[in-house]
Amino acid sequence: MKRKLTPQEKKELSYERDRRNAYGENDKASRKAIPLRKRIVARSYRRSTKQQLPESPVVASTDDLDDAEARVRSVRRSEWKKWPDIPLGEFIARQQRWRGIRDGRKNRAHDAGD
């Protein structure tokens, strides 16, 4: 039987496993941005393969077809990958570091005014 975790152990696991978006955009924006990026990659691939095909539907010879097929196969699909979100512990550490910098700036400006 698995033993119960203490609250401290639960918090430590949460800091390791939970993730936060630190990309700099609204965290809800990825619902639209990820499918959009996938569509853009697919669209550019379709365009580039279509450009390799002959313009007229009537082809003079099988050599032309083989040539066109070779050109289409040579087109490489561009790659787009999602960035993983950062662990919660790292996100909190980053927030605290920036908070210290901001508070320090405020205190320095206040002291300079005296």
Beta carbons within 10 angstroms of residue 106's beta carbon: 10
Per-residue pLDDT tens digits of the chain, which is 114 residues long? 789 999 999 999 999 999 988 888 887 888 898 999 999 999 999 999 988 888 777 766 788 888 888 988 999 998 998 888 899 999 999 999 988 888 877 677 777 766
What distance in Å separates the CA atoms of residue 114 and residue 111, rounded to the nearest whole number? 6
E strands in 1-114:
19-20, 86-87
What distance in Å separates the CA atoms of residue 52 and residue 73, rounded to the nearest whole number? 9
Length of the chain (residues): 114
Cut 0.75: pTM above it: no
What sign for the dihedral angle of Cα 7, 12, 16, 18?
positive
